[in-house]
A and B are shown apart, each in its own frame.
Chain A
């Protein structure tokens, strides 16, 4: 029983981070049809900007988080002007976006490798401080991650549900042509969607790096497919779906190791569980587990 609670707690930590990253990927796919292969590396950029502030300049972890968010938001919005918009102007096909995103991922990751330290790094947090909550043990990093991630998820959920901008984003993602006809400023909303996706990537990157304790610039790619899996699980283009999909996926990944399930899968196969979920959902329910069937 204790193991189950512990796994659920771990799953919520992983899941909330995946959820934050997945919202951005899902909205961007819904609006622009870009499968952003570089999204994992936006997370990495955020994590290393935070590292520079936290370790390089001795700033607090809060200051580091703010810097990470600002940096990745600026990066994501800047790339809209430098890369994605020019590509759209040239009527680039699906394939061109795919390859450009892969190229971008290679550039971002290896610039971080080149500029940052390629060896494993960690933030200045107390890794030995462990809190015992009724049998469930969480490190200080995990608690920080849960707190920040849930605050961000609530913020994003409210933003999407209540603000005009959030509604515009969802409308564009749902049906771009119809939304444009209804008077939504497409270009402006696209830039702001990138800002949102970038900010969330910055937070998610910092949090993922935090709970990994020691991380290298490769963590972004390792997290990318689980992020895609969460997006697909929630229904591509659906922001709420991505939030729920992320949490669900985090839980599924952790619970796959539960002893009561025929001994549980070895922990090393947790990412494989995510890939499996991705493939199975695409094959049998491409509109997502929560999405409504429609002609895709």
Chain B
């Protein structure tokens, strides 16, 4: 059976899309609603994933406790990053956040004692021993798969189980974000994006709102990091390349900035392009080797970004008025 028609393949694409939905929702709060140009989003994902893996492997914490601690760590790192930097102008903030994310990645690569170094979490337990953090997760997934088999029968495979779990969480996150932006809190956030001085003049503590948005978005990135870790059973610093942040931007811009329901749409489109350029085997893609496909994929994503900025900066579903920052 060809890849395109396989349920397994689409389940995998769907899992990736779900993880990116959660990641991009975090950025949506920060950038879409608070207007913060956070270019270090991938670092929060890394903090989440690494905190969980390190606690499980090195200190023997139960997975659930470690996961909660990981989310707390992502939120705290968001606060710590925001405290000094949120007073900066938008462009300086953007450069600072990307520098911060690169520092996190360099530390993950070079502090081998702590993180396993460039080869990734497999080396967490030290040399000669293959570390694994997701035994408890696999047990839970197996249990859930059995329940699911009652409904879906033979289709309830590992990937389909993960698909269901990730998307339940992604949709809950979506509902949460949607509900939050409808509250007075969300309205203040948007007013800050539109005119920070006006919001401040009305007595709103702009700094506190921005800080909350940054920490909340960081927590969602942490959740995405956990699912990334669970899905792939192992990860390395390279998985949290600055490119990942750019992917999240592509997703929310593709769907439409400040449109929550457009985030899953953007994530699915993005994942189809992403996985499609890797696995589809019809012309013209079949003419390329797998290495070349990776480059073509990134060229395509770059062209999509440039094209959107030139011709449709509000994305597929967004409003133009909400896109003109500064």
Chain A residues packing against B (C-beta within 8 Å): 33, 35, 83, 86-87, 90-100, 102-107, 109-111, 113-114, 118, 221, 225, 228-229, 232, 266, 268-269, 271-272, 275-276, 278-279, 282-283, 286, 296
A95→B281 CA distance, assembly (Å): 36
Chain B residue with Cβ nearest A229? B99
Pick the residue among B96, B246, B295 that contacts A102 (CB under 8 A): B246
CB contact under 8 A between A100 and B106, given known A35-B91, A95-B37, A286-B92? no
Q: Which residues of A contact B95 (CB under 8 A)?
A: 35, 228, 232, 278, 282
When the two chains form their complex, are residues A269 and B310 in contact, meaning their CB atoms are under 8 A apart?
A: no
Residue among B89, B99, B298 having the largest count of chain A Cβ atoms under 10 Å: B99
**Sorted from nearest, which 6 A-B pairs have the closest CB atoms?**
A103-B305, A106-B302, A107-B302, A275-B99, A103-B306, A110-B295
When C-beta atoms are compared, the residue in chain A nearest to B308 turns out to be A99
B296 touches A105 (CB 8 A): no
- Closest Cβ neighbor of B85 among chain A residues: A283
Contacts of A278 in B (CB 8 A): 95-96, 99
- Contact of B326 with A by CB under 8 A: yes
- In the bound assembly, the distance between CA atoms of A99 and B116 in angstroms comes to 33
| A92–chain B nearest beta-carbon distance, Å | 7
User: Closest B-chain residue to A95, C-beta based?
Assistant: B325
Complex Cα distance A102/B241, Å?
14
Q: Can you name the residue of chain A whose Cβ is closest to the Cβ of B306?
A: A103
Can you name 28 A-B pairs with beta carbons within 8 Å? A35-B91, A86-B310, A90-B313, A93-B325, A93-B326, A94-B90, A94-B91, A95-B90, A95-B326, A98-B37, A99-B308, A99-B309, A103-B302, A103-B304, A103-B306, A106-B301, A107-B299, A111-B299, A114-B299, A221-B242, A225-B99, A268-B110, A272-B103, A275-B99, A275-B103, A275-B106, A278-B96, A279-B85
Q: Decide yes or no: A98 and B94 within 8 Å by CB, A87-B309, A272-B103, A272-B106 being known contacts.
A: yes
- Check B80 for interface membership: any CB of A closer than 8 A: no
Q: Which residues of B contact A111 (CB under 8 A)?
A: 295, 299
Q: Is B98 an interface residue (CB 8 A)?
A: yes
Q: In the complex, what residues of B have CB within 8 A of residue A272's CB?
A: 102-103, 106-107
Query: Most B CB atoms within 10 A — which of A83, A106, A113?
Result: A106
The residue of chain A having its C-beta at the shortest distance from the C-beta of B81 within the complex is A279
| Residues on the A chain within 8 Å of B306, using CB | 83, 100, 103-104, 107
Q: B303–A96 contact, CB under 8 A?
A: no
A187 nearest CB across to chain B (Å): 19
Is B249 within 8 A of A282, CB to CB?
no
B interface majority secondary structure: helix
Given contacts A87-B310, A91-B324, A225 and B98 within 8 Å (CB-CB): yes
**A86 to B, closest residue via Cβ:** B310
Cβ–Cβ contact A106 & B110, under 8 A: no
Measured CB to CB, the nearest residue on chain B to A284 is: B84
Chain A residue contacts of B90, Cβ below 8 A: 94-95
Residue on B with the closest CB to A296? B89
Q: How far is the CB of B38 from chain A (nearest CB, A)?
A: 12
Q: Are B295 and A113 in contact (CB under 8 A)?
A: yes
Query: Among B85, B299, B305, B309, which residue has its beta carbon within 8 angstroms of that of A92?
Result: B309
- Bound-state CA distance A90–B309 (Å) is 10
Task: Say if the beta carbon of B284 comes within 8 Å of chain A.
Answer: no
Contacting B96 at CB < 8 Å: which of A107, A114, A282? A282
Identify 18 new A-B residue pairs, CB closer than 8 A, beyond the known A111-B295, A225-B102, A282-B96: A90-B310, A91-B324, A98-B91, A99-B249, A99-B305, A100-B310, A103-B303, A106-B243, A106-B299, A107-B302, A114-B292, A221-B242, A268-B106, A269-B110, A272-B103, A282-B85, A282-B88, A286-B92
B253 close to chain A: CB less than 8 A: yes
Q: Taking the nearest CB of chain A, how far is it from the CB of B315, in angstroms?
A: 11
In the complex, chain B residues whose CB is within 8 Å of the CB of A103: 301-306, 309
A160 to B12, CA, bound (A): 56
Q: Which of A91, A106, A276, A279 contacts B305 (CB 8 A)?
A: A106
Chain A's nearest CB lies how many Å from the CB of B211? 16
Of B107, B301, B305, which one neighbours A100 at CB under 8 angstroms? B305
Q: Does B169 contact A (CB under 8 A)?
A: no
A93 & B324 in contact (Cβ 8 Å cutoff): yes
CA distance A286 to B173 in the complex (A): 37
Chain A nearest Cβ from B246, distance in angstroms:
5
In the complex, residue of chain B having the shortest beta-carbon distance to the beta carbon of A283 = B84
A35, closest chain B residue (CB): B91
Asked whether B100 is an interface residue with its Cβ less than 8 Å from the other chain, the reply is: yes
Q: Which of chain A's residues has its CB closest to B303's CB?
A: A107
- Which B230-251 residues have C-beta < 8 A from chain A? 242-243, 246, 249
B305 / chain A contacts, CB cutoff of 8 Å: 99-100, 102-103, 106
What A residues does B291 contact at CB under 8 A?
118
The residue that B296 contacts in the complex, of A98, A102, A114, A228, with Cβ under 8 A, is A114
